[in-house]
Every structure is written in structure tokens, then in C-alpha cells.
Amino acid sequence: MTRRGEHAVVLGASMGGLLAARVLSEFYDRVTVVERDELTDDVAPRRGVPQSRQPHVLMSRCGQIAEELFPGLLDELVADGAHCWDDGDLSRFHVFFGGHLVMRTGSIPAPASLITHHASRPFIECHVRRRLRRIPNVSMLDRHDIVDLTASGGRVTGVVVHRHEDRSAVELVADVTVDATGRGSRTPVVLQRLGYGRPEEQELAVHVTYSSVLVRIPTGTLREHTIARLFEPGRPHGFVMFRAEGERWILGAGTLGSVEPPTTQAGIVAFGADWAPEHVLGAARAAEPLGEVCMHRFPANRWRRYDRMVRMPDGLLVLGDAVCSFNPIYGQGMTIASMEALALRDCLRHGELDLPQRFHRASAKKIRVAWQTAVGSDLALPEIPGPRPMAARLVNAYVDRVLAAAESDPFVAQEFLRVTGMLATPARLLRPDFVGRVARASRRRRPDPVLASRRLTV
């Protein structure tokens, strides 16, 4: 690769920061990742990733990109206990989308086109950190607080950090600084202080709260990898069970608005009692808790439009949740961060001239698809206030038809899951052949979903 500079600094060591550091290692002599938490070699949640205790899955596109950047990573995950779905067997999932139970018999037509890995967020991040540490020109500076960015002559020149052990200040001079500090990013404040103004913000308030608990369920108890029923119109609560590594599972519940989620394992399981199969409920009730019930509040989808800023200082890039954060229920965060890492690599291949503008515009193209999907899905719920233009209502009506078809057509189920896994854009669902298939499925008498008579019971 062409050398672009001596030193790159990445602020934040969650997935976005780790993947960005991997890309930067190809273009800079040294890369330093700064993190306020202690970065051990243990699989454990960190304070800096408050959502890490909630259910996660390595979505298909994210897995592809992680494997591209760290060859062999996916095999390492599986060898250490992650579970891989690569045979297309639909019985592995008991999942409702919008009130529709995705087909559970047979398999998808092209199993190799849709592969997912099931593990906890700390497990995934720990393995990525280990791989990053093996790269000779990458170092990690943990237990350091980020104090401020330094700037001169229209350029961000680095960062000042404080060492935890003695509170001494350390200045890191950098050719490029990447902000991957998450929703709490202070870059808008810094840009305003430097005279560039703040980025425009788009926001949709959702006020969702999630509670979860890590449990042990013995191998062989459940065939499924995922059991989930997400929010639906008239049903402002959800229940999920996600397989993690080994015999670990994460049980979770979510609520909208002022309703508080349960704070006990039994309470979480109760959220699925009116629809989940008895063998699933029995396993969840008997599961051995491996920690306390943890809660995570998410106020709003937010997109900071750095791509629309008239002026940006050179040497500063922003990615991950520091740019855009979505309702966690859609599982888009790690995938978008990985796609931004590839966008960064493509931009660096074409030089450093106007790098911030080029990168933020390129990443915005990836973010836009996920943003429209998340916001559109949230606005399908009458409990969430916000404008609903005719185009959005038509899209949601069509998606409902797609989901109805996915109850009985494995190809429709496959293509919908490829879109949610960000392997294909939503435009795939508008191709004439696919629309025709959805129409034919709607004309056929569909089998009733499991427990359909109790579908809308709250």
C-alpha cells in the first residue's frame, strides 16, 4: 500500500475503532488506539460499550468484512465457541418481523449466500482486539481519557489525553485522527470551538429500553439459534433469546415509551409467554443465570451529517456511532462501522487530498440505507411520533406484504434476510421478479403461523 503518513490515532476501541485501526495500519507507519477502559485479553463487557451486554449477532456483511480485514477470524470465532449458521436450515430460527413468523421449515435456496455467526459482543470484540494486537505497527493506549483535539492551520494535528494512573497529560501528534468514541462524541463541540460550526443532526426519538441477562443453557436443549418477537403496531414490547458462544445465551426484553422493562429473569421470560413455544419457555425459565439483569436505554436514532458540512479541518475523520446510531433492535451498528472501514480504505487508496470530505460523503451512502431502514421500521409503529409521508407509508405497506410472503416462501425469506444482513440493498426487494413472487405468495392460502391466535395479545 502507498504510505500516507507517519502516525494515525484512533479514539475509541469498540468495533468501529478496531476496524478503522486495521485499515490505517496499511497506510501509516504507526497507529495508536486510545481507549479510556482497560483493554484486557478477557471476554468481558466494558463500560465504554454500554450496549455490549445486550443481544448481538455478527451480521452477514459484517462477518464478510471482518474476515477480509482479518483472514481466518471467523474460523477462530467458531473454534473458540461461536455458532455458525451456514446450512440455510430455517428451523434454527423462530422469529417474528412485524407480526409475521418467518418460515420455519426446509431451508433457504442458497445457504452460502447468507451466513451468520452467533456470539456475544464482548466475545467478538475480544477476538478482533487480539488480531489487531498482532499487527506490528499498531499499539493500544488504554486507561487514558481523551481531553481535547489539537489543531493548527486548518488541520487537526492530534489529541491530548490523560493517563489514569497519575493524571499526567500526553499529547499525541498525528497525521490523521479518527473519532470512534460513540454517541457521546465531543467532536461537534470541538468543531464549533474551532470555527467550523456543528454538523446538522437528524433525529427520531424512540425512547426504547432493553433489559437482558446472560444465562447458560446446556448444549442440545434448543435447536434454535434465535427466538425473537420484536415490536409490532399495538404491541410495544418484545422478547428475544440469542445464542452466544458455547452454552451461553442472552435473554432480552424491550419496551417503548414510559413502560419499564422487567428487571428479573422470570420477568423477561414472561414477555414471551404468550407466543413462544413451550420448549423454548421451559429452557429459558430453567436457564442458569450468569450475571445480573442489565438495562440499556436508547433515546433516539441520530445521524450527524458530517457529509453536509461546508468546511471541515483536514486530518479529522468521524465514524461509527459518533456519526450515526440506530435503534439497537435492528443490529446495524457493527455492520455499518465495518462498511465505513472499507470506505476509509478506498478513500486512502486515492490519497489524502480532501480526505475528510471524501470519506464522510462515501460513508453517508452506506449509512443512508441503514438509516432509512431503521427510521422507516420505527415509524411503522404508531407508538413512535414522527412524520409519515405517503412514500414511507407505501413502503411499509409493501414490506408487510413481503413479510407475509416470507411466512411460506423460503426464497422471499432468504432475500429479506439478505437485506437485513446488509448483503443487498432494499432495492433488491423491488425487482420485478421478486415483486411477482410476493404477489403470487399473497394469492396463495398461507399456513397460519405458530400460535397465530395469540399473535396480538399483550
Contacts for 268-275 with beta carbons within 8 Å, 24 or more apart? 268/211, 268/212, 268/213, 268/239, 268/293, 269/239, 271/237, 271/238, 271/239, 272/227, 272/229, 272/239, 272/241, 274/451, 274/454, 274/457, 275/96, 275/229, 275/450, 275/451, 275/454, 275/455, 275/457
Do 315 and 419 share a structural domain? Answer: no
Do 215 and 362 share a structural domain? Answer: no
pLDDT of residue 342: 97
Of 298, 319, 336, the last residue of a domain is 298
pLDDT of residue 1: 60
Q: How far apart are CA 112 and CA 116, in angstroms?
A: 10
pLDDT of residue 234: 87
Rg over CA atoms, the chain: 22
Of 343, 376, 409, the last residue of a domain is 376
Do 208 and 175 share a structural domain? Answer: no
pLDDT of residue 161: 95
Do 150 and 57 share a structural domain? Answer: yes
- What CA–CA distances, in Å, run from 320 to 150, 281, 355, 449, 458? 21, 36, 17, 37, 35
pLDDT of residue 453: 34
- What CA–CA distances, in Å, run from 285 to 165, 211, 288, 326? 44, 16, 9, 31
Of 351, 376, 401, the last residue of a domain is 376
Residue 117 lies in a domain: no
Cβ atoms of 287 and 303 within 8 Å: the answer is: no
pLDDT of residue 51: 79
Cell of 208: 426504547
Helix (H, G, I), strand (E, B) or coil at 294: strand
Residue 115 lies in a domain: no
CATH number at residue 294: 3.30.9.90
| DSSP string for residues in 117-155 | EE--HHHHHHHHHHHHHTSTTEEEE-SEEEEEEEEETTE
pLDDT of residue 4: 86
pLDDT of residue 457: 32
Residue 42 lies in a domain: yes
Residue 402 lies in a domain: yes
pLDDT of residue 455: 36
- Region class of 68: left (phi > 0), else alpha (psi between -120 and 50), else beta: alpha
Cell of 212: 437482558
Residue 73 lies in a domain: no
Do 333 and 286 share a structural domain? Answer: no
Do 168 and 54 share a structural domain? Answer: yes
Range of the domain at 60: 5-68+122-202+302-376
Residue 78 lies in a domain: no
pLDDT of residue 441: 86
pLDDT of residue 450: 45
Q: How would you class 181 by CB atoms within 10 Å of its CB: exposed for 0-12, middle for 13-18, buried for 19 or more? A: buried
Do 272 and 250 share a structural domain? Answer: yes
Number of domains composing the chain? 3
Averaged pLDDT in 10-residue chunks for the chain of 458 residues: 89 96 98 95 83 86 97 98 97 94 96 95 96 97 94 96 91 97 95 96 94 96 95 90 97 90 95 95 97 93 97 97 91 93 97 95 95 90 90 90 95 95 92 94 60 35
Residue 382 lies in a domain: no
Do 136 and 157 share a structural domain? Answer: yes
pLDDT of residue 2: 80
Do 37 and 138 share a structural domain? Answer: yes
Do 230 and 336 share a structural domain? Answer: no
Do 219 and 340 share a structural domain? Answer: no
Global pTM value: 0.92
Do 54 and 159 share a structural domain? Answer: yes
Residue 450 lies in a domain: yes
Q: What are residue 377's phi and psi, to 5 degrees?
A: -65, -40
Cβ-based neighbour number of residue 67 at 10 Å: 16
Q: How far apart are CA 177 and CA 158, in angstroms?
A: 6
Nearest residue to 212 (alpha-carbon basis) of 95, 91, 274, 122: 122
